Structure 1
Amino acid sequence: MSAGVGLLGAIGGAAVGGVAAARGARLGAETTARATAKQVHDQASVDHEHWLRGQRLEACRILLAAYDEYAIAASMLTRALEREVEGSRDVGQAFGQAVSAFRNAYWQVRLVGSADVREHASRLRRHLEDHKDCVDQWLDAALSMQGATIASARAEEERLRVQLGELHDAFMETASRAVSERPAIV
Structure 2
Amino acid sequence: MDQGLVAVLTAGVGLVGAIGGAAIGGAAATRGARIGAETTARATVRQVRDQAVIDHEHWLRDQRLEAWTALLAAYNEYALAASNMTRAVEGELTGTAELGRTFGQSVTTFRNCYFQVRLVGPLDVRERALELRRTLEDHNECVEKWMDAFLAMDGDTAAAAQAEEERLRHQLGGLHDAFLEAVTDSVARRPESE
Q: TM-score range by the shorter chain?
A: over 0.9
1:28 aligns with 2:36: yes
Q: Which residue number corresponds to residue 97 of structure 2?
A: 89
Partners of 2:84 and 2:93 within 8 A in 1 = no
1:150 aligns with 2:158: yes
Q: What is the CA–CA distance in structure 2 between the aligned matches of 1:86 and 1:16, rounded to whole Å?
A: 97
Q: Give secondary structure in 1 for the equivalent of 2:90.
A: helix
Q: Which residue number corresponds to residue 134 of structure 1?
A: 142
Q: Give secondary structure in 2 for the equivalent of 1:83.
A: coil
Aligned partner of 1:123 among 128, 131, 152: 131
1:107 aligns with 2:107: no
Q: What is the CA–CA distance in structure 2 between the aligned matches of 1:15 and 1:85, rounded to whole Å?
A: 97
Identity value in percent: 65
Q: Give secondary structure in 1 for the equivalent of 2:191.
A: coil
Q: CA RMSD in A?
A: 1.7
Calculate the TM-score normalised by the size of structure 2.
Answer: 0.89
Q: Which residue number corresponds to residue 181 of structure 1?
A: 189
1:72 aligns with 2:80: yes
Q: What is the CA–CA distance in structure 1 between the aligned matches of 2:62 and 2:39, rounded to whole Å?
A: 35
Mark the CA change 1:86 to 1:22 in structure 2 (over 3 Å): closer, same or farther: closer
Partners of 1:56 and 1:179 within 8 A in 2 = no
Aligned partner of 2:67 among 59, 71, 83: 59
Q: Which residue number corresponds to residue 3 of structure 2?
A: none
What's the CA shift for 1:2?
Answer: 4.0
Per-residue displacement from partner, 1:130-153 (whole Å, max 9, x unpaired)? 111111111111111111111111
Per-residue displacement from partner, 1:102-129 (whole Å, max 9, x unpaired)? 0111111111111111111111101100
Q: Which residue number corresponds to residue 47 of structure 2?
A: 39
Q: Which residue number corresponds to residue 171 of structure 1?
A: 179
Q: What is the CA–CA distance in structure 1 between the aligned matches of 2:29 and 2:170, rounded to whole Å?
A: 77
What's the CA shift for 1:9?
Answer: 2.5
Q: Which stretches in structure 2 are left out of the alignment for 5+ residues? A: 1-8
Q: Which residue number corresponds to residue 50 of structure 1?
A: 58
Partners of 2:143 and 2:165 within 8 A in 1 = yes
Q: What is the CA–CA distance in structure 2 between the aligned matches of 1:45 and 1:139, rounded to whole Å?
A: 52
Partners of 2:89 and 2:147 within 8 A in 1 = yes
- Which amino acid counterpart does residue 23 of structure 1 have in structure 2? R
Q: Give secondary structure in 1 for the equivalent of 2:190.
A: coil
Mark the CA change 1:152 to 1:12 in structure 2 (over 3 Å): closer, same or farther: same
1:17 aligns with 2:44: no
Calculate the TM-score normalised by the size of structure 1.
Answer: 0.93
Partners of 1:63 and 1:105 within 8 A in 2 = yes
Q: What is the CA–CA distance in structure 2 between the aligned matches of 1:26 and 1:87, rounded to whole Å?
A: 80
Q: Which stretches in structure 1 are left out of the alignment for 5+ residues? A: none
1 or 2 for the larger relative contact order (CA 8 Å, sep ≥6)? 1
Partners of 1:70 and 1:102 within 8 A in 2 = yes
